[in-house]
Amino acid sequence: MKKRLFTPGPISVPEDVLLEMAKPMIHHRTPEFLHIAQQSVEGLKYFFQTKNDVFIIAGSGTAAMEAATVNLLSPGDKALVISGGKFGERFVELIKAYNCVPVVIEPGWGNPVELNMVQDALKQQPEIKAVFATLVETSTATTYDIKGIGEIVSQKQDTVFVVDGISGLGAVECRTDQWNIDVLVSGSQKALSLPPGLSFISISEKAWTKINVSKMPKYYLNLKEYKKAMEKFDFPFTMAVGLVIGLKKSLEKIKQQGLENLWNIHQKRAEAVRKAAVSMGLRIFSKAPSDAVTALVLPEGIDGEKFCSDLRKEFGMSVAGGQGKLKGKIIRISHFGYQDEFDTIAVIAGIEIMLTRYGYKLEPGTGVREAMKVLFSL
Amino acid sequence: MKKRLFTPGPISVPEDVLLEMAKPMIHHRTPEFLHIAQQSVEGLKYFFQTKNDVFIIAGSGTAAMEAATVNLLSPGDKALVISGGKFGERFVELIKAYNCVPVVIEPGWGNPVELNMVQDALKQQPEIKAVFATLVETSTATTYDIKGIGEIVSQKQDTVFVVDGISGLGAVECRTDQWNIDVLVSGSQKALSLPPGLSFISISEKAWTKINVSKMPKYYLNLKEYKKAMEKFDFPFTMAVGLVIGLKKSLEKIKQQGLENLWNIHQKRAEAVRKAAVSMGLRIFSKAPSDAVTALVLPEGIDGEKFCSDLRKEFGMSVAGGQGKLKGKIIRISHFGYQDEFDTIAVIAGIEIMLTRYGYKLEPGTGVREAMKVLFSL
């Protein structure tokens, strides 16, 4: 059975990238590899839209989230978290795990954040050292006003702005420098169309002032070591060579395509899925839906877990179910990775046919027609 | 851009077969490879539905067609050809090239053959040594009554029946022994879902009596040498090792799936494309359409060559144009190779959208809806 991935990471990897990564292994401390690393870091700066330092970590997204936490904070520090889902909660967990004090704004799962709540929190608690937010909350497929929050935080001299851009970067607009993001983290298995295993973190000058005085215990994720090594485009520890080779290739393709075009493609795919879903009578879960991933509320009586499992078993099609309190209630479809318009049509067709098999009444082709209209401007 | 092949060979090859073929090269005269060859030949006998000898030739389909011609005939021999398109004509060309005399029945491109014409020709010219027919004529997407012709030829003691099963075998029903086919040829790049480069030929006892007295000059395609080598599951000349490794894998999968199931899958895909095409106002070219490949007549004023080229350029989608006198008039969509229901939906969506871009009036989703109904029994 043919397999099709529409999960919000891992995603399908393009053939040319797979072949690049399948080439014979090289050593990580060779001029050949350091040159690849240098080009990758330059590509990442474009991908992040930043002039700041960007580091590559051999580890998945959470490693970079932890790097942000342990490098910026010292024990007992207070940090504000805008937590609208599972990955907002992860920042809260990280902050607690390292004996810091989280101040949490919870707009509710699927809801956008009100900027005045951020403003008020920072005014009332000026000792807050960092604000943690999420570009796209994968668990609810919600996007947040990062630009707006960045403006607020940039007014505060002693507070840095940290953004989890793991699911969103490359899929939706995000401009690190223009939007005053001090620390942006991302991962390989989303819009970069790579396997999981690498994460990335950018550090502004303002963030370095925090890192330089941090008293948090750390070793593998000590960014000062990464900076020292990066002077020679090297890494403090063994790097995941094959993945970085894939990263270089993927970033070259993104540079060639243009980041704005990449955002537009995701926007179109997401809009197609949203319009198709509405035409089939499904509700979009998020009140601020992202173009990276879409969460759909299934009709009453349909178990989302079983629905996902049936899509995989019957059609080889992987979409994600709900996480945490949304388990069984929603399905989530990613728009990033190696997919095209006809894949979007396929996933809509798959959902449509499966709904019919579940006894849901639908005129065949209802969703597909709407998706085709959006994707091909018919 | 993602590439999708709907050409009547080469076709997409499944990932597991590609990976099998990508393994390090082995020598062709080793016990390891000879064991693979043995398993492949056994798999081919199932695929051919025969107890006859089946040989593997390193060469594409035409090599096996030539092998049939030069091994069965002697210079000056008369042979009947049922020629309904480009590949029927190829048998005529082969017979002429080797100084034999073709007697040609031409039912007209896209038309089935009338069995009494075959009967009459054999009665009027009893010196005819062989009858050449095509299971599926790729150029017109037409299938012929091979079973019926086989019955007629089997009555004649001195005439053998040769079938070009290159495009059809595995996609449509064909039973070598039950249908009295003395020589069946096929190729790797069709329903076997392999790259091109291998062809196959089965030889009945009746055919061996012809081969044993053939005076035709030959060397690379001398089947007596293949038979001698095959006693040890060896080959007379260097074999295309990687392709045979893929062949073994592909035949294992077909055995597991069951040949009848494979025929049914092709039938469903073909029916979906036919129903979708008719719903879009397109005409099926053939009066006896095959389930291996479908030929569609484009609306007046649309150039088929440009249409195919635009599908490839705009959507990465390869369908075939017309050959010979059908150039520019039809497009041909294959149903074999590594494709599934969602690929069939994709090619219909692609054709539909391209027709719209050519100014042809269509309600979006017209063809896709019909394809979905057939493919998923909605």
pLDDT tens-digit profile of B230-269?
998 999 999 999 999 999 999 999 999 999 999 999 999 9
Q: Which amino acid is at A227?
A: K
State the pLDDT confidence band at B214, using cuts at 50, 70 and 90.
very high
Residues of B with CB under 8 A from a CB of A: 1-2, 4, 315-317, 338-343, 345-346, 349-350, 352-353, 356, 364-365, 368-369, 372-373, 376, 378
Nearest CA in chain B to A342: B346
The distance of B340 to chain A (nearest Cα, Å) reads 7
What phi and psi values does residue A367 have, to the nearest 5 degrees?
-70, -40
Domain ranges of chain A: 15-257, 258-375
Per-residue pLDDT of B307-344, as tens digits, reads: 999 999 999 999 999 998 899 999 999 999 999 999 99
Answer yes or no: do B2 and A364 touch at CB < 8 A: no
Residue type, B83: S
pLDDT recorded at residue A282: 97
Quote the DSSP letter at residue B245: H
What's the fold here for domain A258-375?
Answer: Aspartate Aminotransferase, domain 1 (3.90.1150)
All residue ranges of chain A with pLDDT < 50 are none
pLDDT value for B102? 98
Exposed/middle/buried for A168, CB within 10 Å: 0-12, 13-18, 19+?
Answer: buried
Please give the CATH superfamily to which domain B259-375 belongs.
Aspartate Aminotransferase, domain 1 (3.90.1150.10)
Q: What is the pLDDT of residue A375?
A: 98
Residues of A whose CB is below 8 A from B310: none
Beta bridge partner(s), residue A297: A283, A330
Angle at B243 between CA A20 and CA B72, to 5 degrees: 155
Q: How many CB atoms lie within 10 A of CB A13?
A: 21
Report the pLDDT value the prediction gives residue A218, as an integer from 0 to 100. Answer: 97
CATH (one of 3.40.50.150, 3.30.420.480, 3.40.47.10, 3.40.640.10) for A15-257 = 3.40.640.10
Q: Do you know the residue count of chain A?
A: 378
- Cβ contact, residue pair B353, A346, below 8 Å: no
- Residue located via tokens 């000792």: A127
In this complex, do B364 and A346 lie within 8 Å of one another by their Cβ atoms? no
ipTM comes to: 0.91
Q: Give pLDDT, residue B2.
A: 94
Q: Look at residue A197 in the predicted model and tell me its pLDDT.
A: 97
Give the one of B340, B368, B378 whose C-beta lies nearest to A2's C-beta: B340
The pLDDT of residue A180: 98
Q: How confident is the model at residue B289 (pLDDT cuts 50, 70, 90)?
A: very high
Q: Read off the pLDDT of each residue in B191-211 and give the average, rounded to a whole number.
A: 98
User: In which band, very low, low, confident or very high, does the pLDDT at B128 lie, cut at 50, 70 and 90?
Assistant: very high
With CB atoms and an 8 Å threshold, state whether B340 touches A373. Answer: no
Among residues B304, B306, B329, B308, which one has the least CA distance to residue B319? B308
Chain B hits for A341, Cβ within 8 Å: 315
B369 contacts A340? CB cut-off 8 A: no
Q: Which of B4, B343, B364 sits opposite A373 (nearest CB)?
A: B364
